[in-house]
Amino acid sequence: MDMIRLFHVLRALPVLLAVVLCHSSRGASHPNVLFVAIDDFNDWGPSQLEGEPFDVETPNFDSLAAKGILFNNAHCNAPSCNPSRTSIMSGLHPASTGVYANGHDWLVNKRFDDILLLPEYFKKHGYATLGSGKIYHANQGTDFDRKGLFSPRGWDDFFPSFNFQLPVPSMPDVKPKRGEGNFDWGGTGKPLEEMGDHKVVNWAIEQLEASRDEPLFLAVGIYRPHMPWFVPDKFYDQYEDVEIKPPTNPKGWEKNIPESLLPPQRFKEFTGKPGPSRGYAACISYADFELGRLMKGLEASPIADNTIVVIWTDHGWHLGEKEHFSKFTLWEESTRVPLLILKPGAKQKEVDTAVSLVDVYPTLLALAGLPENKNNDGQNLLPIIEAETDLNRAIVTSKSENYHAVRDGRYRYLKSNNAEALFDHFNDPREFNNIANNPGGAAIIERLSKALPTAPIPSMPKRVKPNAR
């Protein structure tokens, strides 16, 4: 009988081992992920990126950057919310999908039928997947706007709901007075608790505190500093006595640049005026405050020691640089983004190699110990993080199938049909001097052109907003 029992035990061992391994893969062996998006957050915020023309206070981001992996040369894949967020959530470049603009409804794009979005991939591998706030493209306003181009695919739960990405209201009701539409700024005169971002972070902290058997993938989308730049008075008043130096532009800066490559110069009349800079800076400080609350919630949670944190933004923002106040360009101000990764036990490091937001998806999988998704266009950044020296890598940002920017460790190359421009960041960090026709320019362009999409998918049709909803 003893031999028979032993036989049965041995025969069952492979099954028992498989059960144990499966449980392990779904549990403590895989780290949790806190995936934090901050909307329209340019390089003015992090002091390490040295992008601000005056002192913008971001103590929480600065503290995190001092102990995490900070990418000093990170860029979005498209200079607007929808295509950029579509790229990071799908791991696909706009040239692979045809999603280049805010109006391109990727939800009806058949290309995505067989694509596992980021929360889907984590859910497939045993994660609880929760989200809150602006993760996909959305805006305040109507119900249609607040939901935006949201996909329920892969989420176990979402706050405020699967019908709205932004809380209702997403911010106190303050009427614009200074500029066109939402181009306005100031203190709200309203309590902090009425801010949509405050509600989003409150909910996220509750999820961090909850007990669960599965590892957690939690996405948190902070809407500020998206305009209008209204914040609780304490953040706006923070810059009342600060000497604000708006960006300036040298006279005739545009003369050697092809007209088709120039920014549209939206709200040009505000160039040199301190108001927009103050409003935007106040919103950055407010977003940093909410980021700090979220991180304190993580530190107090039972998963603090086993959580990867990724902090990213969808694109940059011009604050008068090149006489433009917006995004929607392929210049440094619009493409460069803060990107920060914190991994338990990892050493602090700053990476100067050019990286792209489309790299976040495969990097997160590697950090979490999950299998590679071979459909990803991006590159796992772990070898770059672990490299002894920075690599001369070139990455691409696209505005359409015919308009791209290539950025490496030194140069920016702009290409639109037959127009092109080249800028040397070592000697011209603000990109005013086009050296495309200078000696040696052709050789640099030839090298950078190899990174351009060879057969980009044409732009898909734009989304039609309902007349009344």
The helix/strand/coil state of 310 is strand
Largest pairwise CA distance in the chain:
96
Could you tell me which residues are beta bridge partners of residue 33? 217, 308
- pLDDT-derived band at 179 (thresholds 50, 70, 90) equals low
The helix/strand/coil state of 93 is coil
The length of the chain is: 469
Mean local confidence (pLDDT), 146-161? 96
Task: Determine which one of 75, 81, 198, 324 is catalytic.
Answer: 81
pLDDT score at 135: 98
The CA-CA-CA angle for residues 386, 389, 391, to 5°, reads 95
Mean local confidence (pLDDT), 161-179? 77
Amino acid at 417: N
Q: What is the DSSP letter of 72?
A: T
pLDDT in tens, 239-272: 999 999 888 899 999 999 999 999 999 999 999 9
Euclidean distance between CA atoms 155 and 141, whole angstroms: 24
CA of 52: how far to CAs of 17, 48, 61, 147, 180, in Å?
A: 55, 10, 14, 32, 25
137 catalytic, yes or no?
yes
Instruction: Tell me which of 18 and 131 has the higher pLDDT.
Output: 131
Kindly list the domain boundaries of the chain, sorted by start residue.
1-30, 31-390
CA of 127: how far to CAs of 30, 156, 437, in Å?
A: 9, 10, 53
Euclidean distance between CA atoms 156 and 129, whole angstroms: 5
- pLDDT-derived band at 181 (thresholds 50, 70, 90) equals low
Helix or strand holding residue 229 (H, E):
strand 229-231
Mean local confidence (pLDDT), 96-103? 95
Within 8 A by CB and 6+ apart from 467, the residues are: none
* Residue 1 predicted with pLDDT over 80: no
| Contact (CB, 8 A) for 444 and 455 | no
Q: Tell me the average pLDDT of the chain.
A: 90
Euclidean distance between CA atoms 204 and 132, whole angstroms: 7
* Residue 28 predicted with pLDDT over 90: no
pLDDT score at 173: 64
CA 211 to chain centre: 28
pLDDT score at 85: 98
- pLDDT-derived band at 174 (thresholds 50, 70, 90) equals low
Tokens of 391: 């690599």
Task: Determine which one of 30, 137, 198, 315 is catalytic.
Answer: 137
Euclidean distance between CA atoms 435 and 456, whole angstroms: 26
| Contact (CB, 8 A) for 106 and 136 | no
pLDDT score at 388: 86
pLDDT score at 405: 98
Mean local confidence (pLDDT), 354-361? 98
pLDDT score at 454: 93
Euclidean distance between CA atoms 134 and 130, whole angstroms: 13
CB atoms closer than 10 angstroms to residue 363: 22
pLDDT score at 190: 86
pLDDT in tens, 427-437: 999 999 999 99
pLDDT score at 142: 86
Q: Could you please state the CATH topology (level 3) that the domain comprising 31-390 is classified under.
A: Alkaline Phosphatase, subunit A (3.40.720)
Mean local confidence (pLDDT), 312-327? 96
The CA-CA-CA angle for residues 227, 228, 229, to 5°, reads 85
